[in-house]
Structure 1
Amino acid sequence: MKACRSILLITTLLTLAVNSIYGTPNNTLSEEMKTVQEVNFNTDGLYFAEFYDLIFRGHFENIEIRRNDLFLMAIYNQFLRAYGSQCASQLPSNKIELMETVCKRERVTKNGYGTVIDRSCIEYTTIGSGIYAKPDMYRGLKTLEASQNGEAIQYVFSLYSDSNALGNSVDMMHKVNGLKNDLSVIFRLNPCGESGMKRFEENLKRYAEGTSPIRMKTSSKYTLMKESGAPKGNQNYHSLLNDLVANQSKTWMMNRYVLNSISSVQVLSKDTNGAPKTLKANYRYQGFLGDKQGWVKVDFKKGLPNCIYFWDFPKNCKKANSTIVASFSQGRYSKN
């Protein structure tokens, strides 16, 4: 029963259950969308910037969030909902309503004094959300949903065997918050009806369905940074760490990072080229108990920030923001 309740919690959180009829697919694009390479899509500063940019460019082979990744469903589903809310004028007349999973009947347990000590849902149902999607994008959602059967169950059971289960659960919530922040600004960066957004939509659907993308010739700056590696010369690691922690703190649920509070920066290890392999520093944050100090550690891969570890979940890797990493690779943190 505990596992079943956890499955329902996970699927509700990621809005995996969408039970409605299929729409009529629309795979046609204008010749301009198929051939023109000079289309822009701005992802700077977004939490999942690298993913969005690679989807837009059709460089599926470089995407780290694979089709069987449970979180891809969350990205796709929440994008549809954000698009349906913010770009409703772009929807066709045969649009399809997205559904929501809600509790239909719950079990309430009380102690001998009548105080509720447990409240859990024992029966769910689906209702219309009032948000609509394009039929072909909805088809992509259903295709992805079908391909991920069993992934939610596997994820739940992994929570019981993983020694870092709590850290992974918190990390999932941080990703959800990061996604929420992204979708609150992405349509301001890339207006609904512009070619860049249309290209992103089409390629997102194709990635979900496992079909060939509309591919741009130019490489993503996030791919180029991994090829170029670490910048030359002395770097301002104090500023770099401040930006990385400030970016991560946008997804925190309780604590608030005190800006520019990075101190005691240490290089714990170096690679064969003499560049940092691991950095560690202290920082301050505001919590329930006032101003506190924590530490952060950053591991580098091929000379670039890769994993960020915080004192409260020291085994939990949080990926460094790709926009900041690209700036670092381009030498924007250089002291020279």
Structure 2
Amino acid sequence: MENKEELLSNLYTVRQGLIFIYEKQISLTELENAKRKTILIQEELVNSFGDGTKPVSENLLKWSFYAVLMGALGNIAKFLFLGLWGEGNVRELFWYLVASAVLVFLIQKKMRQHQGSWIGLGIFISLFIVLTTPLNTIYIAIKSFMSIDILAAIVFSIISVVVVAVSLILGNLFYPRWVSFINQLIDEENRKRIEDNEMRVEEYNRQIKRNEEIAREKEQCELELNQATQVLSVFGQGWYPKDYYFMDAVDFFIASLENFKADNIKELVNLYDDTQYKATQLAYQEEMLRLQQDQFINSQKMVELLRYNNYMQAMQIGQLEAIRINTAEAASYLKNLRVQEVHNHYYN
């Protein structure tokens, strides 16, 4: 460099190129976030295409339906039998019937293949509650026969047979109608599921197209970024230190030169290193690499970190030497780049 004025002018030209690179890197960060978002949406949509449930044994649900009737009739029979001696418990009958209604509700949920482990658990608990009385009645009948209590054995046997027989008769009568009603509900849910899936497929395809658009935008952005980097390499060849092509360093160089803290590029580099900003740059570059591994990159934090990123170091030597222009052409190219002015608030 012939003098400080020429050095300062060239530093501003380098800064122009670095601002352009800085802006393109920010654009790439935003595009990468958009890409990761589309991929995440696609994965969520794929997972939502199926409801994830397994087929339910129809026989199991059929006998559960019979158990509902047996439980309800058994408790009604118990209430009426005890009522003959004035000991019928209305509250107990009410809660047993509520348990029967809950069991019916849970069975239809299971038949419609709704998700939720609580449904299976609820069916098990409800079955246990509603079958307590009829199973206990059968147990008393058997115990009475074994103890040769003929009267009790006959009474409880008759009650047990009536409860089981009526449950089977009513079950055969109403189960097909109940299944038909449930199937109508299932058909309606399937129609909604198909409509939802069609909408999901449409959204999935839209996300694929968006991902393709992002890929094209990234390709163009990287092309412009690499071209600017190549030109900047040509312009700085022989006078600008290759390890200091980042915003924080050039801002420091310009501010130090304007404030008469140094007279040439060597003094500027030494001054920068002496103030330990170089150590800060290395730490920020490590943090930036960690940030890029996150599911979504913190764009605001990345803007700060990119001030310390030397994109030139990420380029291969062959890429930097691929362009064939002279220094004057490189200077003209850099000065005519369209950039947003990034004011130096760090070293003024």
More strand by share: 1
Considering the TM-score relative to the shorter chain, is it more than 0.5? no
TM-score where L is the length of structure 2: 0.21
TM-score where L is the length of structure 1: 0.22
More helix by share: 2
Larger RCO: Structure 1 or Structure 2 (Cα < 8 Å, ≥ 6 residues apart)? Answer: 2
Structure of greater Rg? 2
